[in-house]
Amino acid sequence: MDTPKALVRAYYATVYGQRDLDALDRFLAPGFVSAGPGGKMDIAGHRAALAASLAALPDFALEIEEQVAEGDAVVTRWRATGTHNGPLFGIPPTGRAVTASAIHIHHVADGRITDQWEQFDAIGVLRQLGVLPG
């Protein structure tokens, strides 16, 4: 990719949009770290979390709402929708439609993503699923 921003856009389109988890090896640098509400994970943990999320929400669709890049950093604010039709991190399927929002900060080096820092509205999703009172 020509720029870090283009790389991150291609990552979202390929991994989330096309559900191509094998492409993670192409997009993520060795030593990649993903940090978010659940703690830090390596590539294998990130792959497992994505696989679980995409399986639980088979109609998952992510839309980039805003993206800003400076140097090797790319900040993306996105919104995703899906229907909870499979188990999701211990929550049995509810059949409910959910909308999630998050902000990712990615850093890029040598044409690959080295890390991802996530702020995710987990409480909002849990409320939509009926796990927490709304």
Which tens digit of pLDDT belongs to each residue from 114-128? 999 999 999 999 999
> What's the CATH number where 119 sits?
3.10.450.50
pLDDT in tens, 57-106: 999 999 999 999 999 999 999 999 999 999 998 999 999 999 999 999 99
Q: Is residue 133 part of a domain?
A: no
Q: How confident is the model at residue 1 (pLDDT cuts 50, 70, 90)?
A: low
Percent of the chain with pLDDT over 90: 95
Residue 134 has pLDDT above 80, yes or no: no
**What percentage of the chain carries pLDDT values higher than 70?**
99
Mean pLDDT of the chain: 96
- What is the domain extent for residue 78? 4-128
Residue 32 maps to a domain? yes
The domain total for the chain is 1
Residue 76 within a domain: yes
Q: Is the residue at 28 inside a domain?
A: yes
Is 67 part of a structural domain of the chain? yes
Q: Where are the beta strands (DSSP E) in the chain?
A: 28-36, 39-41, 61-70, 73-83, 97-109, 112-120
Q: Is residue 111 part of a domain?
A: yes
CA–CA separation, 17 and 19 (whole Å): 6
pLDDT of residue 89: 86
Q: Is residue 56 assigned to a domain? A: yes
Beta bridge partners of 115: 33, 107
Residue 105 lies in a domain: yes
pLDDT for the residue 79: 98
